Structure 1
Amino acid sequence: MLKYLNIRRGFTIIEVTIALFLLSTGILAAFAVTQHIVIITETASSRLIAAYLAQEGVEIVRNIRDTNWLKRRDWKTGIIVGNREADFRDTALTPYAGRFLNIAAGFYSYAHGPQTKFRRKITITTSTVAGRPRIGVSVLVEWLERGQTHQLRAKGHLHNWRFK
């Protein structure tokens, strides 16, 4: 007597369910990793811009001091103690108003252009070290990203190295 072989030629429901579960888990994991990378990249980009804006704040004060020397004025002219703001075109510091920086043609300023998410506060202090005057410059850049406030600070000290 001939026996008929019972050969299955397909997948069972359980096998298909397990395969779909594994496939969807892999796709969701890849999506989650991609989303996390996008968030990290955006935050890193903002931190880089903030670092440059903070360093520029210190350089603005240094430029004012150097310009005073070149014009044979007192080295502290226009550099007033307190919370201040300025952009790359300014020749003196103005009182801090908490304004957002604008961007136009790749330059950040308080003039025209679309508003950015960055604020820059330049804090000026004075002291004397070994009988010589010194200006302390602390620049705080703040921005809001994804509902969280971020801050980056740069500090510098300016001396009157022409002091006699």
Structure 2
Amino acid sequence: MPRLLKGQSLIELLIAMTVIIVGLTAASAIIFSNARLQERSADEVVAANLAREGVELAKAVRDSSWIAGGATTFDAGLYAGTDYTAVPLMDGGTFGGFDFAPNTITAAEAVIKRSTNVSSPQLFVQGTGSIGDATFFKRLVTLNPICSDYSQVVSGSTCGALQKIGIHVSSQVQWTKRDGTHSATIEDDMYDWR
């Protein structure tokens, strides 16, 4: 007499549940991983733009020195004695030069803030006296001289007897999130070509 098999056995049910659970776990892992990568990508874009802004601010100072002419050298405002590390003084969308007091990216002045000022809401501001909420971004601009004696070009902390022909600008932005510390650096060479 033939036996009729109706329904599923307990083993078949367990196998089906295992397959479904493994599939759902893999899908959720991919979704959460994608969300984290998307957040990191957004942070990298902001950091790259902040680093680029540091280089552009140095170019603006050089160009302003050229426009001022007279006894003003091309590098006026881009160093303080032998100190070549600085943070831009940004507040309310206005650039006020460079502050050469901080020497490391961990200095309090290196922290970039999001403005809470009514006239410039949500802008990134930086430097002593800037008003805003601290972000996880920090920026430090290094402005090393480029020197030449027409037989060689060197970059370092001082030119000594060599002629200063330009500035090597390195703008570093660093940020720390749950997955570690990250940084973005943009470098450019500016010359006194006028």
Relative to the length of structure 1, the TM-score reads: 0.89
Partner of 2:48: 51
Partner of 2:135: 116
The answer to whether the aligner puts 1:93 opposite 2:120 as a matched pair is: no
Could you say what secondary structure the match of 1:102 adopts? strand
| Alpha-carbon distance in 1 for matches of 2:97, 2:133 | 24
| Alpha-carbon distance in 2 for matches of 1:83, 1:136 | 12
> After superposition, where does 1:2-151 map in structure 2 within 5 Å?
5-72=2-69, 73-80=72-79, 81-86=83-88, 87=90, 89-95=94-100, 96=102, 97-98=107-108, 99-104=110-115, 105-110=121-126, 111-129=130-148, 130=150, 133-151=165-183
Tell whether the 8 Å contact from 2:51 to 2:186 is kept in structure 1 after alignment.
yes
Could you say what secondary structure the match of 2:189 adopts? strand
| Alpha-carbon distance in 2 for matches of 1:101, 1:91 | 15
- Unaligned 5+ residue runs, structure 2? 116-120, 151-162
Structure 2 letter corresponding to 1:108: F
Partner of 2:185: 153
Tell whether the 8 Å contact from 2:145 to 2:164 is kept in structure 1 after alignment.
no
Structure 2 letter corresponding to 1:75: F
| Alpha-carbon distance in 2 for matches of 1:69, 1:22 | 71
> Matched residues, percent identical?
24
Deviations 1:22-71 (A, max 9, x none): 00000000011111111111111111111001110000000011111222
Comparing 7-16 with 19-28, greater Cα deviation is found at 7-16
Could you say what secondary structure the match of 1:93 adopts? strand
Residues 33 and 147 of structure 1: is their aligned pair in 2 closer, same or farther, counting only changes over 3 Å?
closer
Deviations 1:95-132 (A, max 9, x none): 22443101233421122222111000001111224366
| Alpha-carbon distance in 2 for matches of 1:77, 1:9 | 90
| Alpha-carbon distance in 2 for matches of 1:106, 1:68 | 30
Structure 1 letter corresponding to 2:68: K
Partner of 2:155: none
Tell whether the 8 Å contact from 1:78 to 1:91 is kept in structure 2 after alignment.
no
Relative to the length of structure 2, the TM-score reads: 0.76
Comparing 124-133 with 60-69, greater Cα deviation is found at 124-133
Q: Which protein is bigger by CA-based radius of gyration? A: 1
- Unaligned 5+ residue runs, structure 1? none
Say what the alpha-carbon RMSD is for the aligned residues: 1.7
| Alpha-carbon distance in 2 for matches of 1:17, 1:33 | 24
